[in-house]
Amino acid sequence: MNQLKDYILPLGEKLYRYDIKEPPKEWSTDFKNPEYVYSDTGIKNQIGAFFFFNSYHQAVNTACCAIIKNANIAKGIWITECTTSKNIKLLDLRDFNFCVELLAAFDKAGYPVLTDNFKSWKGESFADMQISIRSIEDIILENSLWATNQEYAKKIGIVAAEMERVLQIPNDHVGYLSQLLTDYSNGFHFKSMLQENGYEGYIFNETNNLSYVKGTDSICLFTTEKINSPFCKKLDQPTLNNHV
């Protein structure tokens, strides 16, 4: 556990995404999902990355929630399907249950995430957590019994509280942190550091193991070079369902 890993998304894998307004017929970095364009903070996906689920049902169910929350701008639900045309190398973030674990793993591996280049949704710097995260790195990454050791658990609890204050993310919502890595200007730095290490995107559990479909993952691709052309369909009166 608690390791950054490589994951090869294989040739022939089906991927799905949703939109609440009709997307273009071909892949476009200029097209933006309107639910993630804000009047105060601007465009969330500034780098034009492509986000997918590996479950059709998760895409539909998430879209159903999205049109409820964005009734004033939603035009319907469009589900786009595509298939990988080659193997794709991704950084795998699914091995983490807590935000402090993921941040410690990045720092230990030499990824400069705990710097001023990365900001919270409210503009707080990740650098503010550098000292506290480093104080528990060895405990949380190298000692599998830290959760049952009262002294270790107390130290990590203090750091987790500091992380929650800075990022405004609950420690057990590691999926939110995984999203934040590519939000706004963060995306330019995260994309660059991953590409420098040979990655074409990353895979994570966006819903913190609370997804509608067990095992559903979220996949971020930096380009569409290794996926085929999109097949898009508008759904008629979709309903939320919690089964495959």
Do 209 and 225 fall into the same domain? yes
pLDDT in tens, 212-225: 445 589 999 999 99
Provide the pairing of β-strand 88-92 with 78-83: unpaired
Do 12 and 85 fall into the same domain? yes
CB 105 within 8 A of CB 3: yes
Do 84 and 204 fall into the same domain? yes
Pick the closest to residue 212 from 242, 172, 174 (CA basis): 242
Pick the closest to residue 75 from 222, 210, 225, 235 (CA basis): 235
pLDDT score for 239: 58
pLDDT in tens, 96-127: 989 999 999 999 999 999 999 999 999 999 99
pLDDT in tens, 38-51: 888 889 999 999 99
pLDDT score for 140: 87
pLDDT in tens, 146-171: 777 888 889 999 999 999 999 999 99
pLDDT score for 238: 61
DSSP secondary structure code for residue 124 in this structure: -
| Number of Cβ within a 10 Å radius of residue 78 | 18
Global pTM reads: 0.91
95 token code pair: 């091995």
Angle ∠(107,113,117) on CA atoms, nearest 5:
150
Give the domain-ending residue among 171, 190, 208: 171
Determine, yes or no, domain membership for 184: no
Determine, yes or no, domain membership for 64: yes
CA distance 226 to 71: 34
CB 88 within 8 A of CB 8: yes
Do 113 and 68 fall into the same domain? no
Do 85 and 147 fall into the same domain? no
Total domain count, the chain: 2
Do 18 and 139 fall into the same domain? no
Do 41 and 155 fall into the same domain? no
Do 203 and 160 fall into the same domain? no
The torsion of the CA quartet 161, 163, 168, 169, rounded to 10 degrees, works out to: -90
Q: To which residue do tokens 């994951």 refer? A: 7
Determine, yes or no, domain membership for 2: no
Model confidence at 22, pLDDT cuts 50, 70, 90, reads very high
Do 68 and 138 fall into the same domain? no
Residue 187, C-beta contacts closer than 8 angstroms, at least 6 positions apart? 45, 46, 47, 49, 181
Do 81 and 112 fall into the same domain? no
Give the domain-ending residue among 171, 189, 215: 171
Beta partners for residue 14, in sequence order:
83
Please state at what angle helix 150-167 crosses helix 99-108, rounded to 10 degrees.
90
Residues of the domain holding 160: 99-171
The rounded mean pLDDT for the chain is 90
